[in-house]
Each structure stands twice: as C-alpha cells, then as structure tokens.
C-alpha cells in the first residue's frame, strides 16, 4: 500500500469504529458536540496523542512532515469522520505555515516543539481582557517595536482560531499596505470575542482575538507580510481540499449504503438507471478528486514554483465537487443527521476560510497561463508514485507561476501516449477519443484566456480551467502508475480513467462523440468496482483499504 494511505489506514484503525457510540471519535459524539456548539477538545487531545500534530511540523524542526501526501491523507481521514474536527485541529497547521516558510530556525524550532508535544487541546483563551480600555485597531492589530521586540495591540478579523500555543498573524507596522508584517504570538495571551452562532463547523473557536500589548516575534522581515500570507495560502489551499475530499468520502459511502439497501416496489433503487448513473458519476467525481489531490500534494515538493496555480485549481475543483456530492447524498437519503451536518459544515468552512479567493486567484493568472500553454513540458513527476520527493524549499514558492502549468503543458503528449496504448490494445479507442476531445477543449480554452478581462467571464473560465486541470491530472496519474496495478480491476484497461474523462467532459459541457455509447460503456465498467469496494468494507478509492466501521467482528 502507498505509504500515505497506510498512515491513514493506521490512524483510522486506532480511532475505532465511528458508528460505535462507545468510541470517543464517533458520529454520535460529534453530533452532540455540534448541537451544543462545543469545541471537540477531547477528540483533539486523542488526535494529539496519536501523533497527528507532529505531521504539522517539518522534520528539521522536530516533526514528521516528510511530505504533504502524508498530511493530506491523515487530515482527509479526520474529515471523513467529522469536518468540524478537521477544521478545529487543522487550523494549528494553517497558522504555523508562515513560520515554516520565513521564520528563523530558532523561532520555528520553538513552535515545532510546542506542536509536537501535542499542546493543541490544552489551549484556553482569556474570557476577559487584562485592560479593557486598551485601544482596538480596525481590521488588523498594530505591532510597535520596543527594546524587547514587538508589542502587539488590537483585534484580528473573525476566523477559526487555533487551539495551538502560538499562531502566525498579520499586523500593521505602518500605515501602508507594504507595511504589513507577519508575527508569531502566544494565543493564550489573547481575549476571544466569539461572534454569533455559525451555520456549520459550530464547535470551532470561530471569533476575533484581541491582544493588549502582547510580546510578538517578527517572521521574516518588516513589510513582507502580504507576500508571506499569499505564499502560505498556496500550501493551505491544498489542505482545504483534504477537508472537501473527506466530506465526499463520508457522504458518498452513506448514500451508497442506503440506496443499495432500499427498494421501491421490490426494485432496488440502485437498479434504477437514473440513480445508478448518478451514483457512478459521483464515484467518478471522487476518483478524479483523489487523482487531483495526489498530483497537488506531491507538487508541493516537486513543483513549488507552480503552486500559485496548482493550489487554487485543486481547491476549486474539490470544493465544487464536494458541494454537489454532499447535496446529492442529502437528496438521495433524505438525511437530516450526518449528511445534513456535513452539508452545513462544508458550506460554512468554505465561507469562513475564503474559498472564493481560490477562484479569483486562479482567474487572475489566466493570461499568464495562456501565454505559457504549448511550451515543452517535462514528464509529470508529481503523478508518479515511484518518484522520490525532495525536501520542500520555501524559497522556491512564487506569487505567480511564470512558466504556467507543466501538467497542462504536457497534455498533448499525454493524449498522444494514450493513442499509442489504444493502438496496442492496452486501453480502448473510446478512451483515446475522449482524451483527444479533452485536448481540443483545452486548446480552445487557452485561446480564450487572453481575453479574460471581464470578472464574471474570468471566473467562469477559471472554473473550466480547473476541470481541464483535473482531467489532465487523471490522465497523468493513470499513465505513470498503471504498470504497478496491472492486476487491479480498477486500473486494468484504464477503467477509472475512462469514466473520469467522460464525467469531466460532461461537466465541461463538451461531450465526446457518441456520448450515449461511451457513457454506457465507461460507467458500466466502473459500477461493479464501486459496489465491490463498498460491500467488502473498503475505502472508496483508487487505493482502497479496510475501514473500521466495516471491520467489526
């Protein structure tokens, strides 16, 4: 089993069966916490004890974050049980990223030691300020230099706050935008001012934090705060995608289980053509999301200079697929419990973490992507599981992907490779035809990107780009790994890839020629694997493993 999936399987097994109310991290426990708007402190402590917080820390600072695939799959596993817990615990990593990118080794080691010790669940904010007469800045705190360092005064905007001992945040060191700087500050010295009750992720510490002359350490240099925040977001966008994929995992499994069991007039719901097709489309969505996530997480270390495109493209694709699939599960199951909670949590998490920024960030780079399209591209190393991952080099992070996307630039060569495999009888000619249609769609799209000046048009083109990006990722993941899975029904003959391309072309509203026949063949080949994974108690996945709720004696 691929190592990140083994780590996830081990964590899942240690957490126990989530359908068992006797387990701490159970669906029932999370539903109760949600009803009471209560922070999941005991569950976070359990995750700390199992070592999850160590994966928030790079190895040079004492942690276990050797690669981002590990962290992605672990957080996906947590989100598969409960999105609120994933946000509540994962925010500690989000707040630590600026430190890993730009802080001094001494400062980074200090934060790393605290996180590895598992201090997340211990944190308690002050309920009243030491000096309530102290002035509050509007929008961002103010940091003033002093002989001892910097003193932080003011209030942060409302957002999910970490339970970690230290947090990175922006503060003003002057009156201009160029005078925003990033600081590391103790959270325990702040006052939490919670806002009104949220629609979802109700148990998170969502609220503004106020400091009153608190000592703070500068991360990087004065005036570099905005650039550092933008580079940090490139990494945290990918973890947003982990939360979305975990949400898909939970609700799709629940919906499949209900639909397969239910009957109408002695006819199984799953045998109704319309429902059968929609469920197979949902499974194809999940597999495509998994392929995109794999490329994105491995690109963090292999192509950090492209993350300004890879991060938002991945987040946009997974978030929109998750929103649709969670809503589908709600429609199919009339579920008011777990699916309803997942729907609320996912929508709210996207709103409070600024998910729309990802789409805008991608739209803002469209002309640059158009100019670079068609340039020679190296093999998609990030798609090959056999490729060793180097250490992350934060100095290679760029605000813009000046060479575009090597994944998209390599699409024509990948389509040609599929054509050769079709001629050799390895894959179907229907698959090769679908890939050729995709290449034409991508060519046309890039011709339109240079004119993407009107904001609504640019946003729509960015969405289409994320779908083309997802399709290119699927092709590369299959091409670079099918030889290692030659005995797997899902991989042999590119069963999953054929269905994913049909689905993505449908979402692009440019179906391949002979759509009806192509869809029937592709989905017909995929459906048995989905049912087999469900009934054998495995994760619905390109790389399945037994899940604990199906492994009870």
Structure tokens at 247: 């949400």
Burial 13-30 (b: 16+ CB within 10 A, else e): eebbbbeeeebebbbebb
Of 84, 81, 470, the C-alpha closest to 251 is: 81
Assess whether pLDDT exceeds 50 at residue 413: yes
Q: Is 64 helix (H, G, I), strand (E, B) or coil?
A: coil
Report the sign of the C-alpha dihedral through residues 118, 39, 207, 212, in that order: negative
Q: Give the span between the Cα atoms of 237 and 68, in whole angstroms.
A: 12
Q: Give the span between the Cα atoms of 429 and 419, in whole angstroms.
A: 8
pLDDT at 208: 80
Q: Which residues are 185's β-sheet partners?
A: 167, 216
Asked if 216 and 148 touch (Cβ cutoff 8 Å), the reply is: no
pLDDT at 123: 45
More confident residue, 387 or 164: 387
Structure tokens at 318: 């997974």
Q: What mean pLDDT do residues 282-297 have?
A: 96
pLDDT at 129: 40
Assess whether pLDDT exceeds 70 at residue 380: yes
Q: Give the span between the Cα atoms of 210 and 204, in whole angstroms.
A: 17
Structure tokens at 452: 């993407």
Length of the chain measured in residues: 553
Segment holding 185, helix H or strand E: strand 180-186
Question: How many Cβ atoms sit within 10 Å of the Cβ of residue 440?
Answer: 11
From 116-125, 223-232, 316-325, 366-375, the region with the lowest mean pLDDT: 116-125
For the whole prediction, is pTM greater than 0.95? no
DSSP 284-352: HHHHHHHHHHHHHHHHHHH-GGGHHHHHHHHHHHHHHHHHHHHHHHHHHH--SSHHHHHHHHHHHHHHH
378 CB contacts (<8 Å, ≥6 apart)?
406, 410
More confident residue, 100 or 276: 100
pLDDT band at 130 (very low <50, low <70, confident <90, very high): very low
Assess whether pLDDT exceeds 50 at residue 259: yes
Q: Number of helices and strands (H, E) in the chain? A: 18, 9
Q: What mean pLDDT do residues 452-473 have?
A: 91
pLDDT band at 311 (very low <50, low <70, confident <90, very high): very high
pLDDT at 134: 45
Structural domain boundaries in the chain: 3-122, 142-223, 229-376+399-535
Asked if 165 and 200 touch (Cβ cutoff 8 Å), the reply is: no
pLDDT at 197: 72
pLDDT at 494: 95
pLDDT at 445: 94
Structure tokens at 175: 């009156």
Domain boundaries 142-223, corresponding CATH code? 2.40.110.10
Asked if 478 and 455 touch (Cβ cutoff 8 Å), the reply is: no
pLDDT at 100: 96
Give residue for tokens 């000619």.
429
Task: Say which CATH architecture domain 229-376+399-535 belongs to.
Answer: Up-down Bundle (1.20)
pLDDT in tens, 42-83: 999 999 999 999 999 999 999 999 999 999 999 999 999 999
Average pLDDT, the chain: 87
* 229: Cα within 13 Å, side-chain hemisphere: 16
pLDDT at 219: 96
From 13-17, 184-188, 208-212, 350-354, the region with the lowest mean pLDDT: 350-354
Structure tokens at 78: 């947590």
pLDDT at 135: 45
Pick the CATH number of 3-122 from 3.40.190.10, 3.40.50.450, 1.10.540.10, 3.40.50.300: 1.10.540.10
pLDDT in tens, 468-510: 999 999 999 999 999 888 788 899 999 999 999 999 999 999 8
In this chain, the answer to whether the domains covering 3-122 and 142-223 adopt an identical fold is no
Q: Give the span between the Cα atoms of 99 and 81, in whole angstroms.
A: 29
pLDDT band at 139 (very low <50, low <70, confident <90, very high): low
Q: Give the span between the Cα atoms of 512 and 518, in whole angstroms.
A: 8
407 CB contacts (<8 Å, ≥6 apart)?
295, 310, 377, 380, 382, 383, 469, 472, 473, 476
């Amino acid at each position: 089993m691929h190592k990140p999936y083994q780590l996830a399987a081990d964590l899942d097994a240690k957490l126990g069966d989530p359908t068992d109310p006797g387990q701490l991290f159970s669906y029932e426990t999370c539903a109760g916490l949600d009803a009471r708007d209560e922070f999941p402190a005991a569950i976070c402590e359990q995750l700390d004890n199992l070592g999850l917080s160590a994966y928030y820390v790079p190895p040079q600072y004492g942690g276990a974050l050797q690669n981002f695939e590990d962290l992605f799959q672990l957080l996906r596993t947590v989100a598969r049980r409960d999105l609120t817990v994933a946000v509540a615990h994962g925010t500690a990593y989000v707040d630590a990223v600026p430190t890993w990118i730009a802080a001094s080794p001494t400062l980074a080691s200090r934060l790393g030691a605290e996180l590895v010790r598992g201090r997340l669940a211990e944190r308690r904010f002050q309920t009243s300020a030491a000096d309530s007469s102290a002035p509050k800045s509007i929008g961002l705190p103010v940091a003033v230099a002093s002989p001892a360092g910097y003193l932080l005064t003011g209030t942060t905007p409302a957002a999910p706050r970490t339970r970690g001992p230290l947090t990175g945040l922006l503060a003003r060191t002057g009156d201009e935008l160029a005078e925003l700087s990033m600081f590391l500050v103790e959270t325990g010295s702040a006052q939490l001012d919670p806002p009104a009750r949220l629609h979802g992720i109700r148990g998170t510490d969502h609220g503004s934090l106020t400091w009153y002359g608190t000592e703070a350490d500068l991360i990087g240099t004065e005036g570099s705060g905005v650039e550092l925040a933008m580079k940090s977001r490139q990494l945290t966008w990918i973890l947003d995608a982990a939360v979305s994929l975990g949400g898909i995992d939970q609700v799709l499994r629940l919906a499949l289980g209900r639909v397969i069991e239910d009957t109408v007039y002695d006819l199984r719901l799953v045998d109704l053509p319309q429902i059968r097709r929609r469920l197979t489309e949902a499974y194809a969505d999940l597999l495509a999301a998994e392929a995109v996530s794999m490329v994105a997480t491995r690109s963090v270390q292999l192509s950090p200079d492209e993350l300004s495109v890879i991060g938002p493209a991945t987040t946009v694709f997974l978030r929109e697929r998750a929103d649709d699939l969670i809503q589908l599960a709600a429609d199919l199951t009339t579920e008011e419990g777990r699916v309803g909670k997942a729907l609320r949590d996912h929508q709210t998490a996207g709103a409070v973490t600024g998910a729309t920024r990802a789409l805008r960030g991608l739209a803002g780079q469209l002309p640059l992507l158009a100019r670079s399209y068609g340039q020679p591209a190296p093999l998609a190393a990030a798609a090959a599981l056999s490729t060793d991952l180097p250490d992350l080099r934060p100095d290679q992070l760029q605000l813009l992907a000046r060479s575009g996307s090597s994944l998209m630039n390599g699409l024509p060569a990948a389509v040609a490779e599929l054509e050769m495999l079709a001629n050799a009888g390895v894959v179907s000619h229907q698959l090769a035809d679908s890939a050729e249609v995709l290449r034409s769609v991508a060519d046309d799209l890039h011709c339109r990107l240079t004119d993407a000046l009107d904001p609504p048009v640019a946003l729509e083109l960015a969405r289409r780009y994320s779908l083309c990006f997802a399709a290119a990722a699927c092709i590369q993941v299959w091409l670079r790994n099918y030889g290692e899975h030659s005995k797997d029904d899902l991989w042999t003959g590119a069963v999953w890839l054929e269905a994913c391309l049909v689905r993505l072309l449908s979402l692009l509203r440019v179906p391949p020629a002979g759509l009806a026949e192509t869809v029937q063949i592709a989905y017909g080949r995929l459906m048995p694997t989905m049912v087999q994974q469900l009934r054998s108690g495995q994760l619905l996945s390109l790389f399945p493993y037994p899940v604990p709720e199906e492994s009870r004696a």
